[in-house]
């Protein structure tokens, strides 16, 4: 599979004969569930630090890379450079990729444990938190997760067809996903056209009437969860004017004087943007051209999505005004009793992702939405590990996920070294799982199959001047590789 | 010893995967667009053309010492104008996860800590680098992003430190050395 070739640890002596001999010794077989950053970084670290280990990665979708493909915004191609590293890992002789296999349905975790010495669960967070307020299911209300999946070509969200016929959109939440969604809604089409955003969502955005986006948070400016790079990008977005109310930031300059640098700079950027009057210096040209606008609203907690007269669609959201109790990151938003109605035709709830339990055999903490673990060792389940969002919860950028995946890989290595993981009994790995899958009519997709799909996507994109045109129908992917 | 153009492209790979570098040409099938873009972003117009660079003798090279997370010292050379990410990649330095975004200011995995006297003389930091640096682990007063720092003669023999990631607090295990 793949153009493997001889692989050895660079920097060290190429293994040669001794290596060959020792490879006849028992190789630990490790299984990783999920091919997002957590899965790939865990595999990478184990392969790199153990010369004999073999790692098989199972993925639900035919195509790999998780949120790097289906989450990261299309206008952030540089973030997706990590795919190059993942591709190298997947092409290693000691690594195999099996897409199109849903663990928990096509094969159980118990069956995987029979076939491997260690099983690492890195299946991410596939659902989203819900607000739990009346009106949440009205038409015109979407989760940011589904909206992101829609524009990024995630198969399950291709029927979303969000209604973009209104002028005002409300995004609930102050995280980076909220900013991603706002930016996609307001970006000039010419910028998006050159990205790998799907053709159909581009067409829908071309007809969008949305020209005003409010991002509403339940806490204050000092508690926003988004980061400065993403905010700056939004502020500099061509054709869109930031609308920040200076009153929201009164006195904050002083308050953050001694705050850690990231919080301080982020707050200062908001204060500066709020105080730049339209028509002033840098923003002048931008404002003149800006047919669209966006803004941040604070201390408003969603209470109810209000229906139109016919009771079918969203026409706005009633917000409970809040005051903060405590300060800093841990401040709590407490309703003051006052309410306010914000009108809008589109509501995007961006209050976070959520992991789901995978298999009754695997412990799961529903409160925290994670698999309970210490340093990636699943509590009470020897031989079972976890990494990434399902280990930590659905926050953190790729580098955070990388670090915690290395941490989990380290635990696996420690347990191998200490003999906690018994490798004396041979395990068949995919040999065993493959027959189970066959008996259930499941045909895995290999990494070289993915490379064919990849090439087809790149070729389709080329005509349109895009890095790729994603294939959004799994059936079409499977046909393409002759399944 | 300067690599000719195509080879440089082949090497446009994150250091993180140097351990897998195979002889296969496909290894560089998708060179990161990143590092070219980064060179533009930092305004690092390379001071030498290819032929001139080929003529560089080893005395013209700049030596850099990296203190890795485990305390190991890695020493490597680079050419004036090379970024510290170039040095890590071109010399296959074994620093876990270094340069994930391939020099496009989108990851902060190239975070390095400088000696005071070197830090003071570095080119001014841009807002964009500072924004990314703010997300780095183990930020210090003399932290910068390695992909944005280009070698100068005056940096010869400098020592930079790789910050500890949270995950690296414990003793790391390597079972590839004792096979
Ligand atoms: C919208 C969005 C944008 C983001 N943008 C950025 C960004 O610009 N920069 C940045 O650094 N970080 C970004 N992040 C964060 C980053 O994506 C995460 O840190 C990272 O993806 C988490 O990795 P993971 O592997 O735990 O989860 P995932 O990436 O979700 O990977 C999990 C994988 O497991 C698979 N899976 C699920 N269930 C099963 C099953 N039953 N069997 C087999 N496989 C299964 C999934 O299909 C998926 O491929 C973004 C996140 C989101 C949501
Ligand atoms: N470009 C990038 O680097 C990038 C892009 C996208 C995502 N990511 C990363 O991916 C992770 C996930 O992002 P995210 O935006 O989904 O999550 P997030 O950063 O956790 O933000 C969630 C937001 O929702 C709010 N919220 C939660 N529950 C709420 C409720 N019941 N009512 C009202 N508001 C509520 C939170 O406010 P409170 O603080 O008050 O709870 C917070 O503002 C983050 O770590 C993010 O940085 C990075
Ligand atoms: S390599 Fe990603 S920021 Fe430097």
In B, residues 146-165, which contact A (CB 8 Å cutoff)?
A: 165
Contact A210, A167 (CB under 8 A): yes
**pLDDT per position as a tens digit, A262-301:** 999 999 999 999 998 665 555 555 555 568 999 999 999 9
Beta strands in A278-327 (DSSP E): 292-297, 300-307, 314-325
Confidence of residue A26 (pLDDT cuts 50, 70, 90): confident
Q: How far is the C-alpha of A127 from the C-alpha of A138, rounded, in Å?
A: 19
**pLDDT per position as a tens digit, A215-238:** 999 999 999 999 999 999 999 999
Contact A91 B105 (CB under 8 A): no
Does A398 touch chain B if contact means CB atoms closer than 8 Å?
yes
- Rounded to a whole number of angstroms, the CA Rg of chain A reads 24
The contacts of residue B149 (CB under 8 Å, 6+ apart) are B83, B84, B112, B122, B123
Q: What sign does the dihedral A97-A101-A105-A106 (CA atoms) show?
A: negative
Alpha carbon separation from A147 to A185, A430, A472, B78 (Å, rounded): 10, 36, 14, 46
The contacts of residue A138 (CB under 8 Å, 6+ apart) are A305, A307, A312, A313, A314
Alpha carbon separation from A290 to A129, A171, A188, A214, A367 (Å, rounded): 34, 20, 11, 16, 44
Confidence of residue A434 (pLDDT cuts 50, 70, 90): very high
Helix (H, G, I), strand (E, B) or coil at A428: coil
For residue A432, give the H/E element and its range: helix A430-439
Q: How far is the C-alpha of A412 from the C-alpha of A389, rounded, in Å?
A: 18
**pLDDT per position as a tens digit, A360-417:** 989 999 999 999 999 999 999 999 999 999 999 999 999 999 999 999 999 999 999 9
Look-up of token digits 């931008």: A286
Within a 13 Å sphere around the CA of B152, how many CA atoms are in the beta-carbon half? Answer: 9
Helix (H, G, I), strand (E, B) or coil at A408: helix
What's the average model confidence in pLDDT over A92-110? 98
Q: How far is the C-alpha of A96 from the C-alpha of A464, rounded, in Å?
A: 33
Closest CA to B22 of A83, A81, A90: A90
Q: How far is the C-alpha of B103 from the C-alpha of B13, rounded, in Å?
A: 10
pLDDT at position A200: 97
**pLDDT per position as a tens digit, A31-84:** 999 999 999 999 999 999 999 999 999 999 999 999 999 999 999 999 999 999
What is the DSSP annotation of A262-287?
Answer: HHHHHHHHHHHHHHS-TTSTTHHHHH
Distance from CA of B160 to the nearest CA of A (A): 20
Partners of residue B96 on adjacent β-strands? none
Closest CA to B19 of A85, A150, A81: A85
Residues of A in contact with B33 (CB under 8 A): 77-78, 81
Contact B167 A407 (CB under 8 A): yes
Alpha carbon separation from A462 to A63, A467, B28 (Å, rounded): 20, 7, 20
Residue B99: CB within 6 Å of ligand 3?
yes
Alpha carbon separation from A3 to A410, A453, B7 (Å, rounded): 28, 17, 18
Does B73 touch chain A if contact means CB atoms closer than 8 Å?
no
pLDDT at position B175: 73
Task: Say how many C-beta atoms besides its own lie within 10 A of residue A327's C-beta.
Answer: 11
Alpha carbon separation from A477 to A232, A275, B142 (Å, rounded): 38, 51, 49
- What share of chain A in percent tops pLDDT 70? 92
Residue B108: CB within 6 Å of ligand 3?
yes
pLDDT at position B137: 85
Q: How far is the C-alpha of B96 from the C-alpha of A405, rounded, in Å?
A: 12
Residue B150 corresponds to which tokens in the numbers above?
């280009």
Partners of residue B161 on adjacent β-strands? B67, B113
Q: Beta strand pairing status for B73-78 and B62-67?
A: antiparallel
Contact A349, A131 (CB under 8 A): yes
For residue A171, give the H/E element and its range: strand A168-172
pLDDT at position A408: 98
Pocket of ligand 1 (CB under 6 A): A 33-39, 58-61, 66-67, 71-72, 76, 79, 102-104, 122-124, 126, 148, 177, 180, 353, 358, 388-389, 396-398, 401
Distance from CA of B80 to the nearest CA of A (A): 24
Contact A248, A298 (CB under 8 A): yes
Residue that wins the pLDDT comparison between B10 and A327: A327
**pLDDT per position as a tens digit, A328-365:** 999 999 999 999 999 999 999 999 999 999 999 899 99
Does B24 touch chain A if contact means CB atoms closer than 8 Å?
yes
- Report pTM: 0.89
Look-up of token digits 């496909």: B26
Q: How far apart are the first and last CA of chain A?
A: 17
In A, residues 40-79, which contact B (CB 8 Å cutoff)?
A: 41, 44-45, 47-53, 76-79
Q: Which burial class, exposed, middle or buried, applies to A244 when counting CB atoms under 10 A from its CB (0-12, 13-18, 19+)?
A: buried
Q: How far is the C-alpha of B66 from the C-alpha of B75, rounded, in Å?
A: 6
pLDDT tens-place values along chain B, 179 residues long: 333 333 333 333 344 344 443 333 333 333 333 343 333 333 333 344 444 444 556 668 999 999 998 899 999 999 999 999 999 999 999 998 999 999 999 999 999 999 999 999 999 999 999 999 998 888 999 999 999 999 999 999 999 999 987 544 455 667 765 43
Task: Find the length of chain B.
Answer: 179
3-state secondary structure A67-135: HHHHCCCCCCHHHHHHHHHHHHHHHCCCEEEEECCCECCCECHHHHHHHCCEEEECCCCCEECCCCCCC
């Amino acid at each position: 599979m793949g153009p493997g070739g001889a692989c050895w640890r660079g920097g060290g002596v190429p293994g040669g004969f001794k290596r060959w001999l020792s490879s006849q010794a028992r190789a630990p077989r490790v299984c990783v569930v999920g091919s997002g950053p957590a899965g790939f970084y865990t595999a990478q670290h184990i392969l790199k630090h153990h010369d004999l280990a073999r790692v098989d990665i199972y993925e639900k979708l035919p195509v790999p890379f998780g949120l790097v493909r289906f989450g990261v915004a299309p206008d952030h191609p540089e973030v997706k450079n990590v795919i190059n590293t993942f591709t190298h890992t997947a092409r290693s002789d000691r690594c195999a990729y099996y897409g199109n296999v849903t663990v928990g349905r096509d094969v159980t975790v118990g069956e995987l444990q029979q076939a491997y010495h260690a099983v690492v669960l890195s299946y991410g967070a596939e659902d989203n938190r819900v607000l739990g307020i009346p009106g949440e299911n009205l038409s015109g209300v979407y989760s940011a997760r589904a909206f992101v999946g829609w524009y990024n070509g995630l198969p399950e969200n291709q029927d979303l067809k969000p209604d973009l016929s209104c002028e005002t959109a409300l995004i609930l939440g102050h995280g980076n996903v909220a900013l991603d969604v706002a930016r996609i809604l307001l970006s000039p089409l010419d910028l998006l056209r050159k990205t790998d955003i799907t053709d159909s969502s581009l067409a829908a955005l071309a007809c969008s009437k949305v020209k005003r986006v409010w991002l509403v948070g339940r806490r204050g400016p000092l508690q926003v969860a988004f980061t400065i790079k993403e905010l700056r990008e939004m502020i500099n977005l061509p054709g869109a004017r930031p609308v920040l109310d200076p009153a929201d930031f009164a006195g904050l300059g002083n308050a953050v004087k001694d705050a850690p640098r990231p919080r301080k700079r982020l707050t200062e950027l908001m204060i500066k943007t709020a105080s730049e009057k339209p028509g002033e210096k840098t923003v002048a040209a931008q404002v003149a051209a800006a047919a669209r606008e966006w803004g941040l609203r604070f201390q408003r907690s969603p209470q109810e999505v209000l229906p139109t007269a016919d009771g079918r669609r969203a026409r706005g959201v009633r917000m409970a005004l809040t005051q903060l109790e405590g300060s800093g990151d841990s401040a709590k938003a407490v309703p003051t009793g006052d309410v306010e109605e914000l009108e809008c035709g589109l509501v995007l709830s961006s209050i976070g992702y959520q992991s789901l339990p995978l298999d009754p055999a695997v412990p799961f903490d529903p409160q925290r939405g994670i698999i309970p673990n210490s340093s990636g060792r699943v509590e009470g389940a020897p031989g079972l590990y976890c990494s990434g969002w399902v280990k930590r919860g659905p926050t953190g950028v790729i580098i955070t996920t990388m670090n915690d995946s290395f941490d989990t890989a380290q635990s696996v290595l420690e347990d191998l070294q200490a003999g906690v993981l018994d490798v004396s009994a041979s395990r068949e790995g995919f040999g065993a799982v493959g027959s189970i899958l066959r008996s259930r009519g499941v045909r895995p997709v290999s990494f070289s199959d993915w490379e064919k799909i990849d090439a087809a996507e790149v070729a389709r994109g080329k005509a349109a001047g895009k890095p790729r045109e994603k294939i959004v129908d799994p059936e079409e992917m499977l046909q393409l590789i002759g399944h | 010893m300067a690599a000719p153009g195509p080879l440089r492209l082949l090497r446009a790979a994150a250091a993180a995967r140097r351990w897998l570098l195979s002889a296969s040409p496909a290894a560089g099938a998708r060179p990161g667009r990143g590092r070219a873009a980064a060179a533009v972003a930092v305004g690092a117009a390379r001071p030498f053309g290819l032929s001139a660079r080929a003529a560089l003798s080893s005395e013209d090279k700049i030596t850099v010492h990296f203190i890795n997370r485990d305390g190991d010292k890695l020493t490597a050379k680079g050419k004036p104008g090379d970024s510290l990410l170039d040095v890590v990649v071109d010399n296959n330095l074994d620093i876990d996860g270094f340069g994930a975004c391939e020099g496009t200011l989108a990851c902060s995995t190239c975070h390095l800590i400088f000696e005071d006297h070197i830090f003071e003389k570095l080119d001014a930091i841009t807002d964009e680098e500072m924004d990314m640096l703010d997300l780095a682990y183990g930020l210090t007063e003399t932290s910068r992003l390695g992909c944005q720092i280009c070698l100068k003669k005056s940096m010869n023999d400098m020592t930079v430190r790789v910050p500890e990631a949270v995950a690296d607090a414990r003793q790391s295990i390597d079972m590839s050395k004792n096979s």
